Chains A and B, each alone.
Chain A
Amino acid sequence: MATNPEAPELGKDGAGSIAITVEFTGGLEILFANERKHHVTLPSHLDDGSRPTISYLLGHLVKNYMKDQRQELFILEGNVRPGILVLINDADWELEGEENYELQQKDNIVFVSTLHGG
């Protein structure tokens, strides 16, 4: 449960990208090659000029980081599966606008499964 986001090396090369840290815990890491912590670089603006949101990040993670075929264990109906908590800089994403939250430089996004084990 590492919560100290190390300054990511990636993405400092220009204004064109934002670098964030993404963590998977509570058992979700098994879907991502058993890696808990990922440094992720996203474009600061998407093709339509908008800024990347959590929604965008979800697609990006599934496409580029997910090693397991079972997408539905992470994403259901286009959003985070119920029972998986999302923390944006340690705050419940409900406080930050959920999937519409626009990602900022050095954000720390944590996905925690509540569904595993007792």
Chain B
Amino acid sequence: MPPSPCARCHDQRAVIIRPKNRQKLCRTCFLHVFETEVHETITSTSLFYPGERVAIGASGGKDSTVLAAVLKTLNERYNYGLDLCLLSIDEGIKGYRDDSLETVKRNAQQYNMPLVIVSYGDLYGWTMDQVVAQVGKKGNCTYCGVFRRQALDRGAAKLGIKHVVTGHNADDVAETVMMNLLRGDLPRLSRGTSIVTGSAASDIKRSKPLKYAYEKEIVLYAHHRQLDYFSTECIYSPEAFRGSARTLIKDLEKIRPSSILDIVKSGEDMALLVPAEVRGKGGEDEEGGGGGGGCGSQNGRTRGGEMAEMERKLKEDEAAKDREMEITSDSVPKKQQQSEQVQTPAQKKVKSQVLGTCERCGYISSQRVCKACTLLEGLNKNRPKTAIEMEVGLEDEESSSTLRRQMEKVELGGV
């Protein structure tokens, strides 16, 4: 096969076929186009303001490493005037996180950015190694996810920074859209597609500048810039490669590469159809993954077996059914009567999500005691199998949503 010339410079040999439009590009043009598109995402959404201090949630993995490299490049090229730093979470997993933190430390030097590491051990008195020793490998991702969310916020707060960017990519968003579609969780679907995910539980803004970047292009960008990243799976997340929803996304990409961005677009369009009162404000568990990254359960990723689990869950979960009805009520009038019946609990739910602070740790929480403290209580009592944790343990991944539902039920019961 004769070498194809680059479609942009018509000079160099093309080494990339872009998934979104099949354009053939050489190395230099690809790097430039990739960066320019992230720049366009940033400017079109007014993501930053000049002088803003921004923490990059850095796991040492490909996504956050590429995010740091691109932001540094763009900040210099377009004079964003950003004050960038790296924020990493040390979950305390020997042979995994300590290695990936070495990568982050090298990145800090390579990019000349300050690095702050916050550890579970310091924040909670428990490393993940200790948590696993206590609760076993099943269900431990729940702890990790809940702890991470707060850890990133606390790390940012410690730095006096109000904006954390994470390396979530288009594949992650597409997967989240599919998962929430399948579970009928339109509130979460609508929140997950947004580039900025403000959380009701925190005044720290989260955003994902790589939202429209294909995972494939992120990996190729890292490859062609020879970026230094870490790519070993978490030892406590034993399924080495992703499960069903991820596989579905990758299979679709194989058949029709534009599918991924099409799903992202569909998700955004569906989000617009979700009424604001249904969308809700999001809680402390919103989008548990991100900066700490690297773990199989995070970034909205899933593992095998979850689909079956979810189906079972959906059958049981009246709340989820209610939400489905609500949405159809707008577009399908014949279901009006049904939908009226279910409006009430949903409205109650939204009303009940009032912000307060956790009475134990002072972290902003819509519950009396925040989730981290609830989990810690179980750990500290040396009795991990409390009711809540057992429920959550059934569905390791997206643990947050299960927990959230449990909490909502509890609340509804109590109101």
A interface residues (Cβ-Cβ under 8 A, vs B): 1, 3, 25-27, 30, 70, 73, 81-83, 85, 87, 90-92, 94-97, 101, 110, 112-118
Which residues of A are found within 8 Å of B246, using beta-carbon distances? 83, 115
Cβ A117 vs Cβ B172 within 8 A: no
Chain A interface, DSSP helix/strand/loop, else mixed: loop
Residue from B15, B59, B247 in contact with A118 in the complex, judged by beta carbons closer than 8 Å: B59
Give chain B nearest CB distance to A90 CB in angstroms.
Answer: 5
The chain A residue sitting closest to B291, CB to CB, is A118
Indicate whether B115 reaches chain A with its CB closer than 8 angstroms: no
User: Bound state CA distance, A81 and B64, in angstroms?
Assistant: 24
Cβ A1 vs Cβ B223 within 8 A: yes
Cβ B219 vs Cβ A85 within 8 A: yes
The chain B residue sitting closest to A89, CB to CB, is B15
Indicate whether B62 reaches chain A with its CB closer than 8 angstroms: yes
Indicate whether B389 reaches chain A with its CB closer than 8 angstroms: no
Residue from A30, A70, A91, A114 in contact with B13 in the complex, judged by beta carbons closer than 8 Å: A91
User: Known: A70-B240, A115-B241. Is A91-B219 also a contact (CB below 8 A)?
Assistant: no
B interface residues (Cβ-Cβ under 8 A, vs A): 1, 3-4, 13-17, 24, 27, 59, 61-64, 100, 167-168, 172, 215-216, 218-220, 222-224, 226-228, 230-234, 240-242, 246-247, 250-251, 253-254, 289-290, 293-295, 298-299
User: Bound state CA distance, A91 and B1, in angstroms?
Assistant: 12
Cβ A90 vs Cβ B231 within 8 A: no
Cβ B1 vs Cβ A97 within 8 A: yes
Cβ B223 vs Cβ A117 within 8 A: no
User: Known: A1-B222, A83-B241, A114-B219. Is A95-B62 also a contact (CB below 8 A)?
Assistant: no
Cβ B215 vs Cβ A114 within 8 A: yes
Cβ B63 vs Cβ A94 within 8 A: no
Which residues of A are found within 8 Å of B218, using beta-carbon distances? 114
User: Bound state CA distance, A92 and B13, in angstroms?
Assistant: 11
Give chain B nearest CB distance to A59 CB in angstroms.
Answer: 20
Q: Could you jot down 10 A-B contacts, CB within 8 Å? A: A1-B223, A1-B228, A26-B231, A85-B220, A97-B1, A110-B223, A116-B61, A117-B234, A117-B295, A118-B61
User: Known: A82-B250, A95-B14. Is A118-B298 also a contact (CB below 8 A)?
Assistant: yes
3 A-B pairs with the lowest CB-CB distances in the bound complex, closest first = A118-B293, A117-B61, A82-B250
Residue from A82, A95, A115, A117 in contact with B254 in the complex, judged by beta carbons closer than 8 Å: A82
Residue from A30, A85, A96 in contact with B216 in the complex, judged by beta carbons closer than 8 Å: A85
Which residues of A are found within 8 Å of B216, using beta-carbon distances? 85, 114
Residue from A27, A90, A91 in contact with B233 in the complex, judged by beta carbons closer than 8 Å: A27
User: Bound state CA distance, A90 and B298, in angstroms?
Assistant: 30
Residue from B17, B27, B250, B293 in contact with A117 in the complex, judged by beta carbons closer than 8 Å: B293
User: Known: A26-B231, A91-B14, A96-B1. Is A118-B254 also a contact (CB below 8 A)?
Assistant: no
Which residues of A are found within 8 Å of B294, using beta-carbon distances? 117-118
User: Bound state CA distance, A85 and B253, in angstroms?
Assistant: 12
Residue from A70, A82, A112 in contact with B251 in the complex, judged by beta carbons closer than 8 Å: A82
Cβ A82 vs Cβ B293 within 8 A: no
Cβ B1 vs Cβ A116 within 8 A: no
Not counting A90-B27, A118-B290, a sample of 11 additional A-B residue pairs whose C-beta atoms are within 8 angstroms of each other reads A1-B227, A27-B231, A83-B242, A83-B250, A85-B219, A91-B3, A91-B15, A97-B1, A116-B231, A116-B241, A118-B293
User: Known: A85-B220, A114-B215. Is A92-B240 also a contact (CB below 8 A)?
Assistant: no
Give chain B nearest CB distance to A69 CB in angstroms.
Answer: 12
Which residues of A are found within 8 Å of B293, using beta-carbon distances? 117-118
Which residues of B are found within 8 Å of A30, using beta-carbon distances? 232-233, 240
Cβ A112 vs Cβ B15 within 8 A: no
Cβ B240 vs Cβ A117 within 8 A: no
Which residues of A are found within 8 Å of B1, using beta-carbon distances? 95-97, 101
User: Known: A117-B232, A118-B172. Is A26-B289 also a contact (CB below 8 A)?
Assistant: no
The chain B residue sitting closest to A34, CB to CB, is B232
The chain B residue sitting closest to A27, CB to CB, is B231
